[in-house]
Structure 1
Amino acid sequence: MHVSSLGFRTDLALLTASGSIVEDRGTHLVVRSPDNPSYFWGNFILLAQPPVPGGEREVVGAFHTEFPLADHVSIGIDTADLSDDARAAFEAAGMTVDDATVLTASALVAPREVAAEVRALDGDDDWEARARLSQQLYPQTPEEAFMTFARQKNVQERRLVDAGRGQRFGAFVDGTLVSTAGAFVTEDGVARFQSVETHPDHRRQGLAAAVVHAAGQDALDRLGVRTLVIVADTDGEAVGIYRRLGFADAERQLMLERRSGEWGA
């Protein structure tokens, strides 16, 4: 299956580079991360096209067939064109429809100065702090379950660092990691951002812009990247931050999700 979406194409490149498995079924891809089964967008189905009318519940059933033990459902569609009827049918099947914005930049605008040390993560303590920061953003999920996920996500991402594909940068205030972003090469001349996260107590201080700029500039300067790719909620605050850094809208990325069990709160 040919993937045309820049958002999904860069997603898949990083997933396979960090150990995930992609199975091509012709009309769709099945993406698996066996070492991290609770990673929603490491274990999903990517459809080439929206299902035929009335086929939405069948697609959800196909996910359960592929991932019978999953506490989630994650389905991507390689085109952002979803009719109102199809959207309503997926919602009736319990899915949340996320129409995200994919943005690109070939150069970045420097952000304002921040009262923090901004640097690449270095060593086990920094990466554990990254997992702890992530967990604090999802207090509704049991800590043990989330930390298992977050630590395995670190393992996957550190494979990308070790392979020379990029770095994750953090903003440290009084020695504590409070904001972080990573950018990693997906193909020749292209790098994709991953997981921009900021502690709620440190938002609106310019820290997210600082770490995104640092990670992106590192990819541009050190790795010869020509195009940076980042994805944001269309209606969220982050998309404005990225536009002010020089990113421009490129496309939409269609993702459908349902959480249950420990992740459903």
Structure 2
Amino acid sequence: MDVTSLGFRTDLALLTDSGSVVEDRGTHLVVRSPDNPTYFWGNFLLLAQPPAPGGEKEVVGAFHTEFPQADHVSIGIDAPDLTDEARAAFEAAGMTVDLATVLTSSRVNLPRKVEAQVRALEGDDDWEGRARLSHQLYPHTPEDRFMAYARQKNAQERRLVEAGRGQRFGAFVDEQLVSTAGAFVTEDGLARYQSVETHPDHRRKGLAAAVVHAAGQHALDHLDVRRLVIVADTDGDAIGIYRRLGFNDLERRLMMEKRSGEWAAPDA
């Protein structure tokens, strides 16, 4: 299967380079992260095209066949659009449909100064702080289960850092990590951002822009990168930050997700 979406293509490159496995079934890919089975977008199906009308439940069933122990369903489609009927059918099957925007830039505008120390994550304490910051964004999930997932995700990303593929930067206030972003090379001249996260108590202070700038500038200055790729919720606040930093819309990325058990939001 040839993946056309730059968003998915860069996702797959980073996943495989950090230990995930991709199985090509012709009409779709099965992506597995054996070391981190609760990583939703490390364990998913990527369809080449939307299913034929009426095939939405079959696709969800195929996910359960591939991942029988999963407490989630994650399905991407390498196409930018769903018909209204297909969207309704997936939603009837319990899926949340998310249309994200993929943006690119060859430079990162200098953001405003922030009251924080912005630097690369350096050691175990910094990375543990990153895992704990991530948990602050999903406080309804039990800490022990979430931290097991977050530490495994850190381990995957640290392999990329150790291979010289990029770096994760953080903004520290009173020595506490409160915002972070990473950017990693996926192919010659191209780098993809990963997981821009900011503590809820420290938003709207310019910190996300500061760490996105730092990670991107590192890639441009030290890794021979000529183009940066970032993904944002189409209707979210972050996309405005990225556009002000100089990123331009390129394409849409279609993803669907269902969470259950301890991973489900309280009102789900």
TM-score (norm 1): 1.00
Equivalent residue, structure 1, for 2:218: 218
SS state of the match for residue 73, structure 2?
Answer: strand
Deviations 1:144-189 (A, max 9, x none): 1100000000000000000100000000011110000000000000
Which residue of structure 2 lines up, in the alignment, with residue 146 of structure 1? 146
Report the CA distance between 1:139 and its aligned residue.
Answer: 0.5
Structure 1 SS opposite 2:70: coil
User: Which consecutive unaligned segments of at least 5 residues does structure 1 have?
Assistant: none
Q: Matched residues in 2 for 1:225 and 1:84: separation?
A: 39
Aligned to 1:187: 187
Structure 2 partner of 1:96: 96
Matched with 1:46 is: 46
Counterpart in the other structure of 1:114: 114
Task: Write the mapping of 1:28-43 to structure 2, written as runs, cut at 5 A.
Answer: 28-43=28-43
**What is the deviation of 1:81?**
1.8
Q: Secondary structure at the match of 1:154?
A: helix
What is the CA-CA distance between 1:92 and the residue it aligns to?
Answer: 0.4
Q: Secondary structure at the match of 2:153?
A: helix
* 1:241 alignment partner, SS class: helix
Partner Cα separation in structure 2 for residue 201 and residue 261 of structure 1 = 27
For residue 10 of structure 2, what is the aligned residue in structure 1? 10
Partner of 1:262: 262
Q: How far apart, CA to CA, are the structure 2 residues paired with 1:154 and 1:20?
A: 14
Percent of matched pairs sharing the same residue: 82
For the residue of structure 1 that corresponds to 2:99, the secondary structure is strand
| SS of structure 2 residue aligned to 1:240 | helix
Q: Which runs of 5+ in 2 are unaligned?
A: none
Which amino acid counterpart does residue 205 of structure 1 have in structure 2? K
Aligned residue number for residue 72 of structure 1: 72
Task: State the shift of 1:108 in Å.
Answer: 1.1
Shift of 1:32: 0.0
1:123 aligns to 2:108 (yes or no): no
- Give me the whole-angstrom Cα distance separating, in 2, the residues matched to 1:107 and 1:124: 31
Whether 2:231 is the aligned partner of 1:231: answer: yes
In the other structure, the counterpart of 1:60 is 60
Looking at structure 2, the residues matched to 123 and 107 of structure 1 have their Cα atoms a distance apart, in angstroms, of 28
Q: Point out 4+ residue stretches in structure 1 off by more than 2 angstroms.
A: none
Name the counterpart of 2:166. Answer: 166
**Aligned AA (1:134):** S
RMSD over aligned Cα atoms: 0.4
User: Secondary structure of the equivalent of 2:103?
Assistant: strand
Q: Distance in 2 between matches of 1:143 and 1:13?
A: 29
The 2-side partners of 1:22 and 1:54 are apart by: 27
State the AA in 2 paired with 1:131. A
| Inter-partner Cα distance in structure 1 for 2:261 and 2:34 | 19
